[in-house]
Structure 1
Amino acid sequence: MQLDFFPSRTLTLYLAKMFVLRILAVLVMLVLVLLALDLLSATGKILAPEGNGQAEILRYASLRLPQLISRFLPYSVLLATLITLVTLNQNSEVVAMKAAGLSAHQVLAPLLLTAALVAGLSFGFNERIVTRANATLKAWEAAEYGPIPDVDASIGGVRSSVYLTDGNNILAAATLSGAGNAIVLTGVTWYERAPGGIIREQVRSPRATYAGPGWRLENPVRFDVAGAMTDQLPALVVGENLTPERIMLQSIDPDAQSFWELGQSIEAYEAAGRNTDEMRAKWWHRLSGPLSALLMPLLGSIAAFGLARSGQLFVRAIIGMALGFAYFVVDNAALAMGSFGGYPPFLAAWAPFFLFLLLGETVLIRTEE
Structure 2
Amino acid sequence: MSKIERNNRFVLLRYLSGMLLSRVLICAAALVGLLEILALLEQTTPILQRHLGISGILTYAGMRLPFLLSSTLPLSVLIGSLLTLTQMTLSSEMAILQASGLSMIGLYKNLIPAVLIIGVLGIALDDQITPRSEQALTAWWNRTNPHPEDGHFFWFRGKDTLTRVSYVADGGNALQGIDIYSRTPQGLLQYVTHAKNADYTHVTGWTLRHITRVEVKATTAVTLPEQPEQTWDIPLLPKDFIRLSVSNPPLSSGTILGMLRGRLPSDASPGYLQGGLLERFLRPMTLLVLLLITMPVIHIPPRTGIRSWTPVWCLASGLLFVILQGLLRAMGNAGLLPPPVATIPGLIIFTLGAMTALLRNETK
Report the TM-score, using the length of structure 1 for normalisation: 0.73
CA drift at 1:176? 9.0
- Residue of structure 2 equivalent to 1:302: 296
Alignment equivalent of 2:166, drawn from 172, 176, 189: 172
* Whole-Å separation in 2 of the counterparts to 1:335 and 1:271: 23
- Residue of structure 2 equivalent to 1:33: 34
CA drift at 1:340? 1.2
Q: Indicate if the aligned counterparts of 1:19 and 1:84 stay in contact, CA closer than 8 A.
A: yes
* Whole-Å separation in 2 of the counterparts to 1:56 and 1:213: 30
Q: Indicate if the aligned counterparts of 1:5 and 1:109 stay in contact, CA closer than 8 A.
A: no
Percent same amino acid among aligned pairs?
A: 23
* Whole-Å separation in 2 of the counterparts to 1:161 and 1:147: 14
Q: Indicate if the aligned counterparts of 1:143 and 1:174 stay in contact, CA closer than 8 A.
A: no
CA drift at 1:322? 0.8
* Whole-Å separation in 1 of the counterparts to 2:205 and 2:143: 26
Secondary structure at the residue paired with 1:308? coil
1:112–1:162 distance in 2 versus 1, CA, 3 Å: same
Per mean C-alpha deviation after superposition, the further-off stretch among 243-252 and 111-120 is 243-252
Quick one: which amino acid aligns to residue 128 of structure 2? R
Alignment equivalent of 2:356, drawn from 339, 359, 362: 362
Q: Indicate if the aligned counterparts of 1:140 and 1:146 stay in contact, CA closer than 8 A.
A: no
Per mean C-alpha deviation after superposition, the further-off stretch among 298-307 and 78-87 is 298-307
- Residue of structure 2 equivalent to 1:89: 89
Cα deviations by residue, 1:105-160 (Å, 9 ceiling, x for unpaired): 11222222211121012212332311101212233344464699xxxxxxxxxxx9
Quick one: which amino acid aligns to residue 134 of structure 2? N
Alignment equivalent of 1:185, drawn from 174, 189, 214: 174
Cα deviations by residue, 1:183-237 (Å, 9 ceiling, x for unpaired): x433x2469xxxxxxxxxxx9967546999993259xxxxxxxxxxxxxxx9967
- Residue of structure 2 equivalent to 1:293: 287
Structure 1 gap segments, 5+ residues each: 149-159, 179-183, 192-202, 219-233
1:358–1:269 distance in 2 versus 1, CA, 3 Å: farther
* Matching of residue 251 in structure 1 with residue 241 in structure 2: no
Per mean C-alpha deviation after superposition, the further-off stretch among 74-83 and 304-313 is 304-313
* Whole-Å separation in 1 of the counterparts to 2:131 and 2:249: 6
Q: CA RMSD in A?
A: 4.2
Alignment equivalent of 1:263, drawn from 244, 257, 262: 257
* Matching of residue 216 in structure 1 with residue 220 in structure 2: no
* Matching of residue 163 in structure 1 with residue 164 in structure 2: no
1:255–1:284 distance in 2 versus 1, CA, 3 Å: farther
* Matching of residue 317 in structure 1 with residue 311 in structure 2: yes
* Whole-Å separation in 2 of the counterparts to 1:53 and 1:170: 35
Cα deviations by residue, 1:307-363 (Å, 9 ceiling, x for unpaired): 131357531000110111111101111111001111101221222223222222222
- Residue of structure 2 equivalent to 1:349: 343
Q: Indicate if the aligned counterparts of 1:123 and 1:286 stay in contact, CA closer than 8 A.
A: yes
Quick one: which amino acid aligns to residue 326 of structure 2? N
Q: Indicate if the aligned counterparts of 2:177 and 2:196 stay in contact, CA closer than 8 A.
A: yes
Q: Indicate if the aligned counterparts of 2:328 and 2:343 stay in contact, CA closer than 8 A.
A: yes
Q: Indicate if the aligned counterparts of 2:278 and 2:343 stay in contact, CA closer than 8 A.
A: yes
- Residue of structure 1 equivalent to 2:52: 52
* Whole-Å separation in 2 of the counterparts to 1:31 and 1:212: 39
Per mean C-alpha deviation after superposition, the further-off stretch among 34-43 and 284-293 is 284-293
CA drift at 1:8? 2.4
CA drift at 1:69? 0.6
- Residue of structure 1 equivalent to 2:271: 277
Quick one: which amino acid aligns to residue 360 of structure 1? A
Quick one: which amino acid aligns to residue 137 of structure 1? L
* Whole-Å separation in 1 of the counterparts to 2:65 and 2:107: 34
The equivalences for 1:58-97 within 5 A come to: 58-97=58-97
1:143–1:270 distance in 2 versus 1, CA, 3 Å: closer
Q: Indicate if the aligned counterparts of 1:22 and 1:84 stay in contact, CA closer than 8 A.
A: yes
The equivalences for 1:142-157 within 5 A come to: 142-143=142-143, 145=145
Quick one: which amino acid aligns to residue 329 of structure 2? L
- Residue of structure 1 equivalent to 2:14: 13
Q: Indicate if the aligned counterparts of 2:143 and 2:171 stay in contact, CA closer than 8 A.
A: no
Quick one: which amino acid aligns to residue 216 of structure 1? R
* Whole-Å separation in 1 of the counterparts to 2:52 and 2:310: 50
Q: Indicate if the aligned counterparts of 2:142 and 2:171 stay in contact, CA closer than 8 A.
A: no
Secondary structure at the residue paired with 2:261? helix
